[in-house]
Structure 1
Amino acid sequence: MSFTDRMAQALRHARDKNLTGLLIAPGPDLVYLTGYRPVAITERLTLLVLSAGHEPTMIVPRLERPDAEKAPVKLVDWADGTSPYEAAARLFNRVGTYGISDSAWAMHLLGLQEELPDTLYVSLTKALPMLRAVKDADELERLAAAGAAADQAYEEILKVRFSGRRETEVAADLAALLTEYGHSQVDFTVVGSGPNGANPHHEAGERTIAEGDTVVLDFGGLKGGYGSDTTRTVYVGDNPPDEVREVHDIVRQAQQAAFEAVRPGVACQEIDRVARRVITDAGYGEYFIHRVGHGIGLTTHEPPYMVEGETQELVPGMCFSIEPGIYLPGRFGVRIEDIVTVTEDGGRRFNNTPHELRTVN
């Protein structure tokens, strides 16, 4: 889909929500709609204005206009020493309700409100949560390539020594591997060993990994502009205890059950419910402490969210994580995560490394 088509589609969705127009700040929404990513996001106002009956127009700082010329929109610039909000106000209806990007700076929103006191603003994520949710063929290819690169990094990290090394060292190895396999940006490399694995968002620290540890590896970033995000849990040593094997197998079954539930027309919350039911029935419900998934695309976390209360139905082209986990405080954690996309009759994984409990040295 071309940028022009994306902007037209966004405006149609805005009209369906009774919005006067859309205000797109620098960030993933602006990249999605125009392909333009400012060299630096600063205090100077940059804003794409979309409203029915008007040509898509972006207001930019004058010194950044040469870079912005590549965007497929009309440009209006403003100079240092003048009011960007006064310049922007000429592009607005003076009365109306606008959807505005979540990434917009508060100072800019307040400036617009002061200049246009009869306008109202709503979060774009709240107003149009599905704006970027359904991927086209090119986006699906990019997400598949990012997932395959993350899979390659996982297979390689299994070959390094874990025992006797700090979490930060293994995390650095993971980051280097993601870069080696084509990631332009590494967003996170969670290495949660032993009791640290019971913290879902543990930041790799100075703990020394030891034989007998269970280690949660959650890592991802951007390749070709689109995100990867995968989690596998490994055991340091040759013979994982029965309890570790049992917990890992429960999480594996929950992940598989949730994947098998993916198909068009199913509510997002149902994917969470299916995984949670498996873990709860096994007696570990209180130790599954987060939603089962999140959307992914130009960012690693975006709508739709696989969480209780989200009644949005799945449609082909949606992409999201399925990542159930069990976290036993002070002891260990287990999580298994794949990125999947909705197809015409089910789901397709973008991560295809084995789900079995792997052992490392």
Structure 2
Amino acid sequence: MLFIDKEKFDRVKKGLEKSKLDGLLVRLPENVLYFSNWWPITGWGAAFIPLDGDPILITPDSETIFAKRRIINDLREYEPNGNDALINELSKLSFAEKKMKIGVEKTVEAIACTHLGYELSIPNNPFFDKLSKELKNWELVDATNLLTELRAVKTEFEFKQLKLVNELNYYGLEAIADALHQEKTEMEIATLCESTINNKIVDYKDNVDFVRAFAFVMGGPENGARACWPYNISSAYKMKKGELCMIELNTQVNGYWSDITRTWVVGRNPTTEQRDMMDTINGGIEEAMKASKPGTATHEVDKASREFIIATKWGKYHTPFLGHGIGVKLHEPIPMLYPNSPGTVELGHYYTIEPGLYGKEIKGALRIERDVWLSDSGVIATDEFPCEL
């Protein structure tokens, strides 16, 4: 059988062998997407990946229409009706009677947002208990760590999907960069960015089934100073000329995510000091990219960026976090880049580099966030929109 993403399935097979597993059964939409390139809407789908044999995709009949971009040929359609219906479908597999050690998602602590943004059916103890009762030859073991490790390395196929997300983001950033010649509210800028990106589905209908942009704008001294918190919320605040306007843009296209940030000066007439701050942040990003070589400790990548920024007069406004993984979830745990962070950056890792300055004294937040892929030819940034005020 020929796969569109043979590189991925070769790695998966090695991972199964190393973990002494006979197969994987996944239900979380992000994991089904990872293996199949089909993004389930409700959580009623599944993918079964055997060590020996071809992978199988199980879709509810109401969602099969969206599985046309799948990279698994063997598709089984069923009528969903709770756990029993899916387990009944699994019991029909030729593997159901074999004695097998199957990896499942037992200890996942955070899941990706869905396209619809509301309730999602997820695997839990009732499902696993029922599955063990019905498929008595299967030994179910937790494979969360293996799934995390597999997802950390992006193939060429995945890179193309992730690059497409930032291709659409360009249009939204372009629209708001122009709008910020005038004073606008945070929410006005956020909604303009989101609608511009979402409406681009018309021009990408051959490549895009789902697109949803989430733009969060933090402007001015008060809101901007809080932009280093782990969330950003757009408000009714009308930003004034000369203040900084930072936008955190999280977009999903067909289930693949981007996480980028840009900052402008409202009125688009930055001062010499504001330009110097931007040069400092861009310099910190450049240092992190130069330090990103396979096998380099993540905290060393962070250190390269941090030391560059701390050495300037803006260092006191810098905060201790540099980046994280991205993929079929907005925040992937591999790699993480911060002081004393464990692990290394490796070939295929796709992650953010996002240094920033925050404070009322500097009139808000100035952060730039790039999405980069560590490839055979070096570090490639997929977000091409200019990093300028």
Give the TM-score normalised by structure 1: 0.79
Question: In the alignment, which of 126, 136, 142 is matched to residue 122 of structure 1?
Answer: 142
Residue 41 of structure 1 deviates from its aligned partner by 0.7
Residue 242 of structure 1 deviates from its aligned partner by 5.9
Residue 112 of structure 1 deviates from its aligned partner by 0.9
Name the residue aligned to 1:75. Answer: 76
Match for 1:41: what amino acid? Answer: T
Q: Residues 52-91 of structure 1, C-alpha deviation per residue, up to 9 Å, x if partnerless?
A: 3455345555x55965996523638577488347634783
Provide the C-alpha distance between the structure 1 equivalents of 2:272 and 2:334, rounded to a whole number of angstroms.
36
Question: In the alignment, which of 294, 306, 312 is matched to residue 344 of structure 2?
Answer: 312
| 1:262 aligned onto 2:292 | yes
Name the residue aligned to 1:51. Answer: 50
Q: Decide whether the 8 Å contact of 1:197 with 1:327 is kept in 2.
A: yes
| 1:272 aligned onto 2:298 | no
Name the residue aligned to 2:259. Answer: 229
Residue 21 of structure 1 deviates from its aligned partner by 2.7
Listed as ranges, the gaps of 5+ residues in structure 1 are none
| 1:296 aligned onto 2:326 | yes
Match for 2:35: what amino acid? Answer: L
Name the residue aligned to 2:158. Answer: 139
Provide the C-alpha distance between the structure 2 equivalents of 1:128 and 1:286, rounded to a whole number of angstroms.
39
Determine what percentage of the aligned residue pairs are the same residue. 23
Q: 1:348 to 1:197 in 2, by over 3 A?
A: same
Name the residue aligned to 2:117. Answer: none
Question: In the alignment, which of 20, 23, 35 is matched to residue 18 of structure 1?
Answer: 20
Residue 329 of structure 1 deviates from its aligned partner by 5.8
Question: In the alignment, which of 158, 167, 179 is matched to residue 160 of structure 1?
Answer: 179
Match for 2:36: what amino acid? Answer: T
Q: Decide whether the 8 Å contact of 2:353 with 2:369 is kept in 1.
A: yes
Name the residue aligned to 1:151. Answer: 170
Name the residue aligned to 2:352. Answer: 321
| 1:349 aligned onto 2:381 | yes
Name the residue aligned to 1:193. Answer: 219
SS at match of 2:241: coil
Q: 1:93 to 1:108 in 2, by over 3 A?
A: farther
Q: Residues 266-295 of structure 1, C-alpha deviation per residue, up to 9 Å, x if partnerless?
A: 233332232223334447667544632223
Q: Decide whether the 8 Å contact of 1:19 with 1:99 is kept in 2.
A: no
Size of the aligned set, in residue pairs, is 351
Provide the C-alpha distance between the structure 2 equivalents of 1:310 and 1:82, rounded to a whole number of angstroms.
38
SS at match of 2:148: coil
Match for 1:51: what amino acid? Answer: P
- Bigger mean CA deviation after superposition, 97-106 or 146-155: 97-106
Residue 231 of structure 1 deviates from its aligned partner by 1.6
Provide the C-alpha distance between the structure 2 equivalents of 1:305 and 1:167, rounded to a whole number of angstroms.
31
| 1:338 aligned onto 2:370 | yes
Q: 1:29 to 1:86 in 2, by over 3 A?
A: closer
Provide the C-alpha distance between the structure 2 equivalents of 1:142 and 1:65, rounded to a whole number of angstroms.
20
SS at match of 1:158: helix
SS at match of 2:327: coil
Residue 323 of structure 1 deviates from its aligned partner by 0.9
Q: Decide whether the 8 Å contact of 2:180 with 2:266 is kept in 1.
A: no
Q: 1:297 to 1:351 in 2, by over 3 A?
A: same
Provide the C-alpha distance between the structure 1 equivalents of 2:175 and 2:104, rounded to a whole number of angstroms.
44
Q: 1:110 to 1:285 in 2, by over 3 A?
A: farther
Listed as ranges, the gaps of 5+ residues in structure 2 are 112-119, 205-209
Give the TM-score normalised by structure 2: 0.74
